[in-house]
Amino acid sequence: MIIAIDTETGGLDENTDALLSISACQYENPENAFTVFIDPDPSLKVHEEAAKVNGYTPELWKKRGAVPLLEAMRLFKRWLPPSGNSPLAHNASFDKKFIEAAERQTKFKLYLPYHWQCSMVAFFLANKIFDFGAPNFRLETLARMAGHWGEGFVRGDHQSSDDVLACVAGYKWIVQQGLDLRRQIERLTMENNRLREKIANVAPF
């Protein structure tokens, strides 16, 4: 089962910066979703630049029911299907390294597979194939091109609960472009075969 995952963090370094939230949802059923806010350990950093992006303040996180990292990992593990999970994230290497750092810090294993699918890479490759003209490969760009976030949508604070749904919608849109192309190729191949049969059946003069 594909499970989309997104995190918000206090910075870019998984060893020194805090994990602030984890969100996930099932690819086939995005309404089955999970979010937990994390009360960061004082030894880990929350940089001002990161807080400006995700809106973190201790007071806001407390209102949102933030829990210690170990409890967050336990809640996440409880939500995850027991086996057969295939993780998907937009910036997979980033989210993966923070999840793995959380496992090391808490000594609590989620037992997710080593390889994660990356919608950013898929978006980059699809842009090469279909010439979408994407100005960049950020999640917001993909979500808007997929129609998940419309013209009037204002993103505001980057929240993992919003972003994980955008990741699923964007990835499904990319997959659909590939399916549509395959159908077009199959249709053209069938038409070409029928034409060749007609030509073959025409008596030579």
CATH code, domain carrying 110: 3.30.420.10
User: Does a structural domain hold residue 124?
Assistant: yes
- And the tokens for 197? 């049969």
User: Does a structural domain hold residue 192?
Assistant: no
User: Does a structural domain hold residue 100?
Assistant: yes
Residue-level pLDDT at 42: 94
Residue-level pLDDT at 53: 93
User: Does a structural domain hold residue 191?
Assistant: no
Residues spanned by the domain of 138: 2-184
User: Does a structural domain hold residue 128?
Assistant: yes
**Per the structure, how many domains does the chain have?**
1
CB atoms inside a 10 Å sphere around CB 60? 14
User: Does a structural domain hold residue 201?
Assistant: no
Residue-level pLDDT at 186: 73
User: Does a structural domain hold residue 26?
Assistant: yes
Dihedral through CA 112, CA 115, CA 117, CA 121, nearest 10? 150
Residue type, 23: S
Beta bridge mates, 21: 8, 37
- The whole-angstrom separation of Cα 103 and Cα 110 is 7
- The whole-angstrom separation of Cα 71 and Cα 73 is 5
pLDDT digits (tens), the chain, 205 positions? 999 999 999 999 999 999 999 999 999 999 999 999 999 999 999 999 999 999 999 999 999 999 999 999 999 999 999 888 999 999 999 999 999 999 999 999 999 999 999 999 999 999 999 999 999 999 999 999 999 998 777 777 788 999 999 999 999 999 999 888 777 777 777 777 777 776 767 655 5
User: Does a structural domain hold residue 138?
Assistant: yes
Residue-level pLDDT at 155: 75
